[in-house]
Amino acid sequence: MKRVDRKSESENSIVKIGNSLIGNGELTVVAGPCAVESEMQLYQTACHIKKLGVQILRGGAFKPRTSPYSFKGLGLEGLKILQSVGKETGLSVITEVMNVRDVERVVRYADALQIGSRNMHNFSLLTEVGKSKKPVVLKRGLCATIEEWLCAAEYILLEGNSNVILCERGIRTFETYTRNTMDISAIPAVKNLSHLPIIVDPSHAGGRRELVAPLAKAALAAGADGIMVEVHPNPEEALSDGAQSLDFMEFSRLMEQMSAANVMLKHIG
């Protein structure tokens, strides 16, 4: 590894998505539904999170699903809704890209791209998003070591795109209470090994609504640059990942806690 190495760059990298800076010492919050389901659902969510100070909206148009019979997202229609809601609300939008052939298209509709954990080792896709200059949120593979994750980021940087944000989303272990095991030590480990910013996804990591707040606070305390959280107007009716999505009231409460925690942690350093 060269480009991702802390040795190659002693200053922390700052990645810009729209007007937000990730990695500048402030806590960034990315929020939104797992999947874009309708204009109404996304618009309501966008308005709510914006009101709370969030600047980046997430929403999946192409959903990687273990079973081919699960809801796979609205595709191009989802991208259009995302872009339109982003413009109306002034939020930047981020969405996953799964196919090298979709990169060009997704780049036109979104402000940042996401590589999901199942594609962390999809080297063709890494190379393709490296050729675009859009910011990329690179999720850690289900079973990837930190070193392999950084190697995956290197594929992107090698093509000239250094706007990479790492995202810890839990690794697979034998524990069954949680969906995955959030590797909290990955945060300080990445900070030691690399100059890239790192955020966490407590929704996927824990897989349970009630774990989102404690995991988010822990990530912040461990030095994460941000969190990405699933929010849905009505989690019970979500087409995917309802069990781990927060409703609006829960998200409001989380934001209060995050903001208080953020202020405090700055005192400590």
d(Cα 199, Cα 118) in Å, to the nearest integer?
18
**57, 222, 228, 229: which one binds a copy of itself (CB under 8 A):** 222
Q: With H, G, I as helix, E, B as strand and everything else as coil, classify residue 109.
A: helix
Residue choice 45, 122, 161, 245 for contact with a copy of itself (CB under 8 A): 122
CB of 223 to a copy of itself, least distance (A): 6
Is 217 among the residues that bind a copy of itself (CB under 8 A)? Answer: yes
Nearest 10 degrees: Cα torsion 157, 158, 161, 166:
-20
Task: Report, in Å, the least distance between residue 156 CB and a copy of itself.
Answer: 9
Helix (H) or strand (E) holding 58: strand 56-58
The phi, psi pair for 20, rounded to 5°, reads -90, 140
The nearer residue to a copy of itself, 46 or 216, going by C-beta atoms, is: 216
Tokens of 63: 């959903």
Contacting a copy of itself within 166-195 (CB under 8 A): 171-178, 181-185, 187-189, 192-193
> What is the maximal distance between C-alpha atoms in the chain?
50
- How many other CB atoms are there within 10 angstroms of residue 21's CB atom? 16
**Where does this chain touch a copy of itself (CB under 8 A) — which range of 64-72, 73-81, 85-93, 240-248?**
64-72
CA–chain centroid gap for 103, Å, is 17
243 binds a copy of itself (CB under 8 A): no
Say whether residue 267 binds a copy of itself (CB under 8 A): yes
Give yes or no for a contact between 195 and 11, defined as CB atoms under 8 angstroms apart: yes
Among residues 25, 56, 29, which one has the least CA distance to residue 223?
25
Which among 9-17, 38-46, 85-93, 152-160 is the span making contact with a copy of itself, rule CB under 8 A?
152-160
Q: Which stretch binds a copy of itself (CB under 8 A): 12-20, 32-40, 43-51, 144-152?
A: 144-152
Q: Return the closest-CA partner of residue 250 out of 233, 267, 269.
A: 233
Of positions 14, 52, 151, 243, contacts a copy of itself by CB under 8 A: 151
User: Which residues of the shown chain bind a copy of itself in the complex (CB under 8 A)?
Assistant: 1-2, 64-69, 98-101, 118-119, 121-125, 141-143, 145-148, 151, 154-155, 158, 171-178, 181-185, 187-189, 192-193, 205-206, 210-211, 214-215, 217-223, 257, 260-261, 264-265, 267-269
